[in-house]
Amino acid sequence: MSQSTRKYFGTDGIRGTVGQAPITPDFVMKLGWAAGRIFTRGASARRKVLIGKDTRVSGYMFESALEAGLAAAGVDSHLLGPMPTPGIAYLTRTFNANAGIVISASHNGFEDNGIKFFCGKGSKLPDEVELEIEKELEMPMQSVTSRELGKAHRVTDAAGRYIEFCKSTFSSDLNLRGLKIVVDCAHGATYHIAPAVMAELGADVVPLGNHPDGFNINEGFGATAPEALQRAVLAEGADLGIALDGDGDRLIMVDGDGVVVDGDEITFIIARQRYQRGLMRGAVVGTHMSNLGFERAVQTLGLEFKRVNVGDRYILQMLQANNWVLGGETSGHIICLDLTSTGDGIISALQVLEAVVRSGNTLSVLKSGMSKFPQRLINVRMAERQDVTSISEIREAVTAAEHCLGNTGRVLLRPSGTEPLIRVMVEGQDRALVDELAESLAATVQEAVNPTLRICHKIT
């Protein structure tokens, strides 16, 4: 299902501003009904779907709306309360549920919310199932009879179950004693879980961003705002810091010197650890935005590196198709498919911590095995979406930039999945050349698509 054929689903479920279509109570109730009908077709046993949420205030409203829609479809709801997205995926599998539903807008502010789904195996939905749900949404909503209505159940031990699962992914012959770790939960869904996991494995834990009030999720804390974690690591004299996002599927770390360790570096550390222990299977998967230094470092290990479109769903698809085990995005979505079925910030952090403990090295030393290439990203806004690769002067400018870089860099033009933007990315060994080529190429793109609109710069 291409993006153009989707009416509601984006690359990661349905997301938007609360109170504005489609993120409204009436739509979400019908979405629960439509999804319930699709997920439980042909099911002979009692039908059940798990519902979990992050800590934003609108989660209460949408939890009730989904529960009502599922009940009307004759499906039981098992309510998990605040729970990380990967925790919902795990519990969907262990409860043998027909599906899992996540109420979250991930790293967005509290004004937004969204709905995403897991199939019974704890994986994200295939495109064709999302399309079936969209078709069902076009049908008039009809309730089953009173005798067939679904019921709601509160799961009281959801957090404890997931904590034990996370701990089980850390080698039983190791512990975290002697490590002081700052854990930033972004005032999100991991606030009552991530610090407990690290503490129960023996770490001296300094919790941060662990007081959600419904409105402060991701605000100045977490994986998208690591500055608070950097300050805390230095102030506490901690060995390292862990930053999760609002729904717990994204991980950014900070070393003992207060330096950010991004998703590319984290994935490389995990890949090298697995390779050294003979646990690596197949290629490491990144995206078109993954740093070229990451690719070269993986290849230095003797491993293949494959790129897919931006989005952890595409990483997951390639891993599953080839029976591979590891992939990640620069933003911190990291999938260890030999351990769990989706991206999981806590479990990814534990794999890095295992490398720290086994090697006896600091996080700073471990990340030094990879040298990031200078990268410049410039966003060029358009009046409307269009295929810039069909414009001859842009193609010629890209070819010229690639010729200048040779085999020491690369050029990427990528449309945003959510805004009328073209992301112009240039990467190479020479920072000055990278900046020069990026600005020149962005100017060419702007002039070609809409010369009256300004460029939005972002330097990485």
251 near 223, Cβ under 8 Å? Answer: yes
Whether the CB-CB separation of 94 and 122 falls below 8 Å is answered with no
| Residue in 106, 331, 341, 348 annotated catalytic | 106
User: What is the rounded CA–CA span in Å between residue 45 and residue 91?
Assistant: 19
162 within 8 A of 100, measured Cβ to Cβ? no
Residue 343 tokens read as 């991206």
Cα–Cα distance between 447 and 279 in angstroms, integer? 50
Question: Which 3 state secondary structure label does DSSP give 96?
Answer: coil
Say whether 146 is catalytic. Answer: no
CA dist 445 and 387 (Å) reads: 11
* Amino acid symbol at 434: V
Which of 58, 5, 49 minimizes the C-alpha distance to 28? 58
Task: Find all residues with CB under 8 Å of 60, minimum gap 6, and list them.
Answer: none
Asked if residue 279 lies in contact with residue 269, where contact means CB atoms within 8 angstroms, the answer is: no
Residue (of 5, 188, 219) closest to 102 by Cα position: 188
Phi, psi of 458, deg, nearest 5: -140, 125
Residue 334 to residues 39, 109, 150, 263: CA-CA distances in angstroms? 27, 22, 36, 7
Give dist(CA 103, CA 113) in Å, integer: 7
**CB contact set of 273 (below 8 Å; sequence gap of 6+):** 351, 354, 355, 358
- How far is residue 47's CA from residue 335's CA, in Å, rounded to a whole number? 29
List, by residue number, the catalytic residues.
106
